[in-house]
Chains A and B, each alone.
Chain A
Amino acid sequence: NAGVTQTPKFRVLKTGQSMTLLCAQDMNHEYMYWYRQDPGMGLRLIHYSVGEGTTAKGEVPDGYNVSRLKKQNFLLGLESAAPSQTSVYFCASSYAGTQNTEAFFGQGTRLTVV
């Protein structure tokens, strides 16, 4: 059981380049999230999705776009990367509903924009 898988694990981009981070989960979770983690700033929510075909903005959505075309996948796109987007990105997923909504996290993607 793979859980939550993020690809790639590491990436270096030049300013202005674009890229897509892929998150895949095999637990049939409705909710999926993208976070960034920076020293001294903690975990900040970028975008999230409450189900296939839906997305919503989080705390720091500017400069990012997302898509949830399939329930198991949540893509995070950077159209024109900036050095301020250098960070570690985490994807997570969880069930919805009136049950314990434990979030399962991927191992992270370390992105450097030069």
Chain B
Amino acid sequence: GEDVEQSLFLSVREGDSSVINCTYTDSSSTYLYWYKQEPGAGLQLLTYIFSNMDMKQDQRLTVLLNKKDKHLSLRIADTQTGDSAIYFCAETDHHRDDKIIFGKGTRLHILP
């Protein structure tokens, strides 16, 4: 079955770059997503990438997709205290049933 894996914790110093990694098993994924969850709130879409792309950049965020290795990463440049949150990787496969499969989330902790 389909599965999305990511590490549970990441600590980064303020001002450094954060790189959050994710692996997935569904080779026919259509869209891959990064969601952000701030304390006490629901998840919100941060960015997404279509499966025929290998990179997407949006201000401080860079998404890299390696389809061969089924690996997705989110890089946050110049990490700020406001970036402290849980980041979820997710995927959908329109050839399957469009159901969104989430990873378990990576908690990003910012060190002063």
Contact = CB atoms under 8 A, between A and B. Distances in A.
A97 B98 contact: yes
Q: For chain B, what secondary structure do more than half of its interface residues adopt (helix, strand, loop), or is it mixed?
A: loop
A31 B105 contact: no
Interface in A61-97: 90, 92, 94, 96-97
A94 B100 contact: yes
A101 B90 CA distance: 11
A105 B43 contact: yes
A100 B41 CA distance: 23
Interface residues of B, number: 24
Contact of A103 (B40, B90, B105): B90
Given A50-B97, A98-B94, A40 B88 contact: no
Interface in B21-46: 30-31, 33, 35, 40-45
Contacts of B98: 31, 50, 94, 96-97, 101
Interface of B: 8, 30-31, 33, 35, 40-45, 48, 88, 90, 92, 94, 97-100, 102-105
23 contacts: A31-B98, A31-B99, A40-B8, A41-B104, A42-B8, A42-B88, A43-B43, A43-B102, A44-B104, A48-B99, A50-B98, A90-B42, A92-B100, A97-B98, A98-B94, A100-B31, A101-B31, A101-B92, A101-B100, A103-B100, A107-B41, A108-B40, A108-B42
